[in-house]
Amino acid sequence: MMYLASPYSHPDPVVRERRFRAACSAAATLMKRGHAVFSPIAHCHVIAEHGLPTNWAYWQAYDRDHLMHCDEVIVLMLSGWQKSAGVQAEIRLARELHKPISYVEPEELIYGTNATAAGGA
C-alpha cells in the first residue's frame, strides 16, 4: 500500500480545500493505476470539518499508525510541502522505517503527464 503524503494545514480554508482536492485527484490516479493508496488528507479532510483540529500535532499519531503499515511513501509536492510540519515528519518517519520514498510533482498525477514519480530518497 502507498502512503500519499501532502501538505494540508493552512489558516485559509480555501487553501486547505484545494490541497484536499489535489490529494484526492492524486490518490484516484494512483488507484486507477492499480495501487492501494492511503491519503490522510483525502481520507480525513471531511472528518476534520466536523470540529477537529487540522494541524499535525492532532493527527500525527493517527498518520504514523497508517504510515507504519504502508510499503512506500509518495510525497505529492504541492506548494508548501517543504515547509509542512506533517509532510516533513512523515518523510522522517518513512526514513526511520526504511520505507522507499518517491517525490511526485502534482502535474504528474493530477494532470496526467507521462512521468509517474520523480526521484527517490
pTM: 0.84
pLDDT at residue 27, rounded to an integer = 94
Q: How confident is the model at residue 90 (pLDDT cuts 50, 70, 90)?
A: very high
Residue 116 pLDDT > 50, yes or no?
Answer: no
Which domains does the chain show, CATH number per domain? 2-120 (3.40.50.10400)
User: What pLDDT, on the 0 to 100 scale, is given for residue 36?
Assistant: 96
> Given strand 118-120, what is the order of strands in its sheet?
37-38, 2-5, 72-76, 101-104, 118-120
Q: What is the model's pLDDT at position 61?
A: 86
* Confidence band of 111 (pLDDT split at 50, 70, 90): low
